[in-house]
Chain A
Amino acid sequence: MNALYEIIQNLTSYSGVSGFESMSFQTLCPYIKSLNLFDETGTTPVGSFYGIIRCGKENAPMLLLDAHLDTVGFVVTELCDGGFLRVAPVGGIAPKILPSSIVNIYGKKTIKGVFASKPPHLQSAGESEQKMDIADLSIDTGLPLEELKDIVRIGTPVGFPCELQKMLNDNLAGASFDDRLCGAIILRALQTIDKSQLNYDIAFQFSGNEETGYKGAMTTAYRLNPEKAIVIDVTHANVPGAPDVFKDIHAGKGSVITLSPQTNRAFTKQVISIAENNGIPYQLSAFPIRTGTNSNAVQTTRNGIPVCLISVPLKNMHTMSEVVNLNDALNTAKLIAAVINQKEQSND
């Protein structure tokens, strides 16, 4: 678990607001290379990182593992008097979580800001019940406007802080587990496999632009041209008030395997039986329509790619305090490694 934790700690320690992933490359690329897992690595114009493990056989088929690198965040739309910034959301963010939260502003240098919040003493009756719009909120930077203009411009990305908090019972809180956690899980799984036994290539794509339309996944999968793909993302774990569809998804009870028209049923069943045979805990969820993950984008790339979607249960998605249970992450890494170790993989 420590090996996995170390990777998680590294991958969640820097920003990569959707569309601005290249900001993270100078830290991310050397780190992943230092793990010595891949024979080839690269980055793409759409903000993805990829690495390929070659099995050494000519024209070998490829299994693709996808997680996304980008996170939700904001871009600056206006610099206002008094050192306040107005922003537009990048990806889905609920405005009501924002007042009083701390953010990083990635200008010429990274500065801290706080979403301004009107104290209850100053609010008129009923004001706290009113609908909130992100365009009406402002971020306090504490700098005079003239100084602020030297650091920030319209279009500067803004993100949640990148700090992990350990909680009891192997729980972890942080801002970018969606979906950096799953990138860490894939890297951990690849550390545990026996590469000498491979008879197919394995590619890892850490996709950009997921939160804003799955663009990194579709373009990188196009470039890699795999035979099959596993998409690893987070899903909603049950919390009080959750909709029925998520009532039976529990943090700590294992990976969530999704049954959906956006995934391949035969491949998915195979993964389920591998989990069964290896005693790896899992949960099932059904998404009759959109999974809201890269699975659809990868599924429809080129001539079509069979996809399996494995998710990690997570609470408080798209907030600065997403909560996951490390046992779920560990079991997901085990499941991916078990799938890779099945030698029949390339024969069906």
Chain B
Amino acid sequence: MLNIMKKYQNAFSVSGFETQLANIIIEDIKDKVDSIETDALGNVIALKKGKDSSKKLMIAAHMDEIGFMVVNIESNGMLRVANIGGINAIASSYHNVKFQNGVNGILVVEDGTKAADINSNKLFVDIGCDTAEKAKRKVSVGDVCAVSPMIKKLSSKRYTSKAFDDRICCTISTYAALNCDTPAYDTYFVYTVQEEVGCRGAKPSSFAIMPDYSIAMDITPAPACGNPNHFTVKLGGGAAIKIKDSSVICSPTMVDRLTELAKENDIKYQYEVLLAGGTDTSQMQIAGSGSHACCISIPTRYTHSPVETIDIDDLYACAKLLIAFIEKGM
């Protein structure tokens, strides 16, 4: 699983530009699934036939990450950028960034800006060109970049990287697709696009599938230091079974079943109530006539920063719980 993780963390996949990661994923799983396709928006949809084909399970993990789009190339060669998704401007500034075509840059803040005033309107990318003309030979208005890949092992069982949100769950999905026995139901492994800009990939893909049961795989914020109020999950506390976030109340039927499976299989679990932030769960819940929907979250520190941090025990707990549901169903 860690090899898959490292490979996925290093791919380029900003919201709306997920092709590179999509191709890697397709290559990884195509021999282990019954069919695989990419839809008009770029969602990768892989089907593994189940014992009971009268029911459908959809699993969604999103491929995209937050990033920046060039909106103007200034005469001095600096690139003015706009955010794609919910950027933490302070956390992202003064980091290396990389464009899809491989051009390196640094994300910098307008001269004279006080630390507390840093926001996405103050951000520029410096790619080392002194004139607009030179810069335009490297990038165009509309090109996107993201913080450069960097994955590091910390002490004990923890890793830090950008974009664990939600690449780490693509890793879990792939691991599950490669390692599960015959699924209980026809199981669709969906790697969605554009979650960070409004769950736009999950909507049409769930409508195309019309699942009976749905599980989103995503990250959830875990506290580190300071005031831990209003967080319910702990890093290292196990797979987080979502109760609610601001976009969904998970189906009690699914919450109960996942709890039961965690207990039966000795998987460490905890419950998650997320007060701000949404996931693909809601789009799967409301597709067509509706589905029983829930989300398995992996606790993550410093979300939407270049140093998101996860615990390997949580990673395996999430994967085991997902595989248990795939194999046993309701």
Contact = CB atoms under 8 A, between A and B. Distances in A.
Contacts of A78: 232
B118 to A, nearest CB: 27
A44 B290 contact: yes
A90 B255 CA distance: 17
Interface string B155-190: 000000000000000000000000000000000000
A220 B289 CA distance: 6
Given A45-B251, A90-B249, A154 B243 contact: yes
Contacts of B290: 44-46, 48, 215-216, 219-220, 222-223
A45 B291 CA distance: 5
Interface in A60-81: 75, 77-78
Nearest to B289: A223
A22 B249 contact: no
A22 B252 contact: yes
Interface in A193-230: 209, 212-213, 215-216, 218-220, 222-223
Contact of A45 (B248, B255, B273, B292): B292
A155 B289 contact: no
A141 B253 CA distance: 26
B244 A75 contact: yes
A270 B212 CA distance: 39
Contacts of A28: none
A155 B93 CA distance: 37
B249 A154 contact: no
B285 A215 contact: yes
Contacts of A222: 288-290
B225 to A, nearest CB: 19
Nearest to B292: A45
Interface string B307-319: 0000000000000
Contacts of B273: 75, 77, 88, 154-155
Q: Find the residue from A77, A213, A222 having the highest chain B CB count within 10 A.
A: A77
B275 interface: yes
A78 B251 CA distance: 20
Contacts of A209: 249
Contacts of B252: 19-20, 22-23
A19 B282 CA distance: 12
B229 interface: yes
A18 interface: yes
Contacts of B249: 18-20, 75, 90, 209, 212
B271 interface: yes
A205 B17 CA distance: 41
Contact of A88 (B212, B244, B253): B244
B256 to A, nearest CB: 10
Given A19-B244, A135-B229, A222-B289, 12 more contacts: A19-B251, A45-B251, A46-B251, A46-B285, A48-B290, A155-B273, A212-B249, A215-B285, A219-B290, A220-B289, A220-B290, A222-B288
Interface of B: 212, 229-230, 232, 243-244, 247-253, 255, 270-271, 273, 275, 282, 285-293
6 contacts: A19-B252, A46-B290, A78-B232, A88-B273, A213-B282, A215-B285
